Structure 1
Amino acid sequence: MRKVEVVSYREEWTLLFQEESIKISRIFGSECIHLYHIGSTAIPNMHAKPVIDILVEVQKIENVDSFNLEMERIGYVAMGENGIEGRRFYKKGGNNRSHHVHVFGTQNREIQRHIVFKDYLIAHPHEADRYSQLKQLLAKKYPDDIEKYIDGKNNFIKDIDAKANRWLKGR
């Protein structure tokens, strides 16, 4: 069973992202356009589940499955689309997850959505604090139910996505 653990921000998360990005970029080679640190571990002072989320932008999503064996060699489990059309998802660490890798083709709208969400929260610390508090509350309320934890964040995330898009258009 996956425990829901939300911890204080750790500066090491940036280093863990950088280290893993080097390994992943070697695997994907010229297929890889860019790697991004996304999610709460990419936001300074944000409480988060200690799982590094990495977004990999690739030339063609159709080519990604050919890298599954190499990803497995560095500890990842390939999960296919895992509920999001046009994505390839990898997880590392079993029930004690350490990393998630989200791979999208270069034209996928999810790339911008994730980056703008992160950038908006960095630029609006009061919103980041609200999100941090919500995550802590949900982790206490649902320590053994990752699905309810995720569901509990859903409306907040949609609200921030809308605000982030307006913010992006106004810049």
Structure 2
Amino acid sequence: MGASLIVREYDPSWVQLFQQLRGFVIPVLSDFVVTIEHVGSTSVPGLAAKPIVDIDVVVPKQSDVLKAVQGLATLGYVHEGDLGVTGREAFIPPVNVTWHHLYVCTIDNAEYKRHILFRDYLRSHPEDAKQYGDLKLELAQRYQNDRLAYTNAKGDFVREILQRAGWK
């Protein structure tokens, strides 16, 4: 992955890519998965985003996380551990598949709940989504080679949206 940060105008093909990826992983997860959700900015119609699809694979309980890790490994996913987010396991996709972020967590995971709350709020408040998209386009220009600064600069807006959405 190149160092420079790219944020693009919304692309409806992101939804199709999510559907394809969901179809790719579901055979090894279908026995126990609760849901597979398209999260992150690519999941909000009209929202500018880094063109990388984020997927949350949600399982009932902690023991199912291990089953998911094993199942995904058979498809070529590489388990990266929680990357500092407790209870949410991250994966590197197989080499022959479009780059994306895939996470596995349990239904009661706080990060998952936050993802869904944020996504659903922006989906139902297009004016806030537009504002967020504009902010991201501007920040991506300003912090082209500094992902951390970009992420930190978005933080206040993200926290404000989560608060409005009822995050405690």
Compute the TM-score of the two structures, normalised by the length of structure 2: 0.87
For the pair 1:129 / 2:127, whether they are aligned, the reply is no
Q: Tell me the amino acid that sits aligned with residue 55 of structure 2.
A: I
For the residue of structure 1 that corresponds to 2:153, the secondary structure is helix
Counting helix residues as a fraction of each chain, which structure ranks higher? 1
CA RMSD of aligned residues (A): 2.1
SS of the counterpart of 2:45? Answer: coil
What number of residue pairs does the alignment pair up?
164
After TM superposition, give the deviation of residue 20 of structure 1 in Å: 0.3
1:143 matched residue in structure 2: 144
* C-alpha separation in 2, matches of 1:2 and 1:41: 20
Give, in whole Å, the separation in 1 of the partners of 2:50 and 2:44: 12
Q: How does 1:22-171 map to 2 (within 5 A)?
A: 22-68=23-69, 70-72=71-73, 74-92=75-93, 98-165=99-166
TM-score between both structures, scaled by the size of structure 1: 0.85
The residue aligned with 2:9 is: 8
- 1: CA distance between counterparts of 2:140 and 2:3? 12
Three-state SS of the structure 2 residue aligned to 1:126 is helix
Runs (5+) with no aligned partner, structure 2: none
Instruction: Give the secondary structure class of the aligned counterpart of 1:165.
Output: coil
Q: Is the 8 A contact 1:61 1:103 kept in 2?
A: no
SS at match of 1:71: helix
From the superposition, tell whether residues 67 and 105 of structure 1 become closer, same or farther in structure 2 (CA, over 3 Å): closer
Q: For residues 157 and 76 of structure 2, what CA distance do their matches in structure 1 show?
A: 32
Name stretches of at least 5 consecutive residues in structure 1 with no aligned partner: 167-171
Identity between Structure 1 and Structure 2 (%): 33
**Contact 2:44–2:122 at 8 Å: present in 1 too?**
yes
Counterpart residue identity of residue 136, structure 2 = K
